[in-house]
Structure 1
């Protein structure tokens, strides 16, 4: 029994704090670390349309004080879209709309954090069929609590509003509420779950609901996190589901919260 217990302990190595923070960052905006990522999403829609998106993203942060960090982030998507309907854009691919944002994060104590910022969505797609045809601002804030060393709960609230609309596109105004949870497992693994509710103020205050589940692994010899997730709309969406795979590289200058 003692030999079996010792062997199990050797196999199930506890996840170290730096790796745990890197795993949390997949769903927690209150931890700012220097990283670059490449994500691949595949979405299936109820009308038969399909969309594949490869997103290059980065976040660069620096400490302002012992309890505050500041970060700048960007996202550049490359999109392929296929529609069953006969149109001039039955199949199209190219660069999608660019996003850039900035904001702070604060460590309130050893287990509570908060952070947020502002993000600009630009109408920069290479093809009109891939664009939302709006310039949009998003402001948001989040609060995270490490209930234990292995369980983190987060509350995020974001409000988005278009500031420029093109090609007769309707104005956009919507509020998003997200509740992610991250479970840190031995051997640098994690599992996550997220519920998100969205209310569209420009569409009769229509609500939509989405759930997401994922798994991630931080490699042992290099600061790389691999993750996979499945997203399923519950109601109020034309999307059937979305599958995502992401590779994240964390730079050596990563700033760990205290």
Structure 2
């Protein structure tokens, strides 16, 4: 995912959400994000839902290590979700559907809302905010799985940061059920509060992912992240 683009969305949506009943929802949720500091013991290695070579444990170990760092930096317990490996096109389709980039008004990002905020130019699609360059996977709260790109056997520094972000969101969901809360808000018609909550959780995960980069990666890896970000931005803006 292009985290820079969604970080801009998150900040704008948090500001827009802080009014009326939306302010009450965010204020109710925010203290729980800040007050929980329990650190859990290490969990078991994740299981997979597709056939993989038995000897191929590298990605499992990398993700288990990231989960340990999420517990330490985010300060929340985290049970490692099962790993689900899918082809790249399916991964991108599922990610788009999960974040409401195809189904306007039913999930996370409402295009009309983003356009009203000035985040998304009129006539553009919310899908334009996302680049799938280097996206290794994402946490799917609906299935409680970590969906990974098929064939993934290693992670670049940029990929490690992205998956740390996803696992931080998984830890928040495990502790506070933000996905269920958001779904309840949507069912009650309180779409703006639901989007504000989504933005709050995404911003929290991105903040702790940057903390992970600053504290856990050396200058070479940090530089590699910036280079990969630039390459992805150039790819997403290049004509087909």
Category of TM-score, reference length = shorter chain: under 0.3
Higher strand share: 1
Rg larger in structure: 1
Question: Which is bigger in relative contact order (C-alpha 8 A, separation at least 6)?
Answer: 2
TM-score by length of structure 2 reads 0.25
TM-score by length of structure 1 reads 0.24
Higher helix share: 2
